[in-house]
Chains A and B, each alone.
Chain A
Amino acid sequence: MTRDHALIDELLAVRALDGLDDDDAALLARELAAHGDCDECRRLETEHAEVAGALPLALEPRPVDPGMVDRIVAEPQRVAGTAGATAGTSDELAERRDARLRRWQTAFGVAAAIALILAFVLATRPDVSVPSTLVRFEGESGEVAMAYTPGESGVFVWGNDLPDPGEGNVYELWMFEGGEPISGGCLSPTDGSVAAFVDADLSSAQQMAVTVESADCPDAPTTDPVFTAELS
């Protein structure tokens, strides 16, 4: 059966220019997930990305501080920083990345949700890496976990077997920095499951929590946590 790519094509075009609103980003995520491993989706994504990547060439180049490159290379490399490390081919690099993704997909019970959200975010945000750290939340009913890379922005959050938060309510994620709660956004489970990417930096957070809140997603928690996690 041939799938219709008209909607995906349109949304990918807007996304390539970073113009997508959140609701259409979510719609695109669902559409891409429905298409699964789709060559046509990948082709459209790549083509739009290439066009967008060419647009800055129209601008008059603007020299940077000559010392910038020295400052950058003075920083340690995170992955391959040892001298003489074997780089490998591009195919090998892609395979390493895919292998990491597969390990994540098979490592946990809610593999489908993880696979969906990881695949989508990695497809849409080339600056986001496969996370290195997993944190499971403590709670009385259901399970919540998150994955992130320390020092980098971006947190994958998912939940399974979650109780219905009640009519007009949602789950809200909190990061505690020095005892101060900072909202990580609201999550609405479907059939007890939820998967989301939160564009947050946990560098300064010591604890995490999830509360049940009204759908207007308040700036401070109004109820006791139903899930908590300590960050080491």
Chain B
Amino acid sequence: MRSAEPAGALDEELLLRVEGGDDRAFRELFARYAAVAHALAFRLVRQAQVAEEIVQEAFLAVWRNPERYDRTRGSVRAWLLGTVHHRAVDAVRREQAQRRRAEQAASLGPTVEDDPVDDVLAAIDLPRDRRLVRRALTELPVEQRDVIRAMYFDGLSQSQIAERTGLPLGTVKSRTLLGMRRLRASLEGLER
């Protein structure tokens, strides 16, 4: 992925203004990422109210402590959406009904109706970034895609995936790494 691109630079600029107490900058950052963050949280927790709470908590943390962002560890987008993902996964793993939901989610076949990797051909009219990420996921070898989808979009741990698929744990990890490397190469053109 390219670094120091306009989108990433704008995000950093907005975050600096947020640190100065600029709520307009925060609102702009919120407008840029809240809906994606909400989609991610909902995809993981499958409960609208919980997903909204996760998004609100994550953005509240950004509003209160914008200085926690460290540009040497990646883009604002990666930091922000990573925070949402951490919180959503924590919620999933705390949830008493996690086992039942995970079993539904981890069939490792096609899952929810808007699965990001299922329908790239119908995605011609999508915004460029979404199309690019969907295509990158679709182009992964299926065994790598399934592991990454189960881990990231369904919130399963490496050992849960190994248990459910019967794969050795080492295979789950190696497929994850190979998939991540391939995705990185495919997403070179994505703005940070």
Contact = CB atoms under 8 A, between A and B. Distances in A.
B61 A59 contact: no
A65 to B, nearest CB: 6
B152 A52 contact: yes
Contacts of B58: 127
Contacts of B177: 9-10, 13-14
B107 interface: no
| Max chain B C-beta neighbours (<10 A), residue from A45, A62, A65, A90 | A62
A73 B90 CA distance: 25
B184 interface: yes
B39 interface: yes
Given A52-B85, A80-B66, A88-B19, A18 B152 contact: yes
A51 B180 contact: yes
Contacts of B148: 17, 55
Interface residues of A, number: 65
Interface in B57-88: 58-61, 63-75, 77-87
B20 A47 contact: no
A97 interface: yes
B39 A53 contact: no
Interface of B: 1, 12, 16-17, 19-21, 23, 26-27, 30-31, 34-40, 42-43, 51-52, 55-56, 58-61, 63-75, 77-87, 89-90, 114, 116-117, 129-130, 132-134, 137, 148, 151-153, 155-159, 161, 173-174, 176-177, 180-181, 183-184, 187, 190, 192
A127 B71 contact: no
12 contacts: A16-B180, A18-B151, A49-B79, A53-B75, A53-B80, A61-B36, A63-B38, A68-B56, A73-B63, A90-B12, A90-B69, A90-B71
Given A18-B151, A84-B21, A49 B73 contact: yes
Contact of A60 (B56, B114, B173): B114
Contacts of B181: 13
Given A53-B78, A94-B71, A96-B67, A64 B38 contact: yes
Contacts of A54: 1, 77-78, 129, 133, 183, 187, 190
Interface of A: 9-11, 13-14, 16-21, 24, 42, 45-65, 68-69, 71-73, 75-90, 93-94, 96-97, 123, 125-127, 129, 199
B162 to A, nearest CB: 10
A97 to B, nearest CB: 6
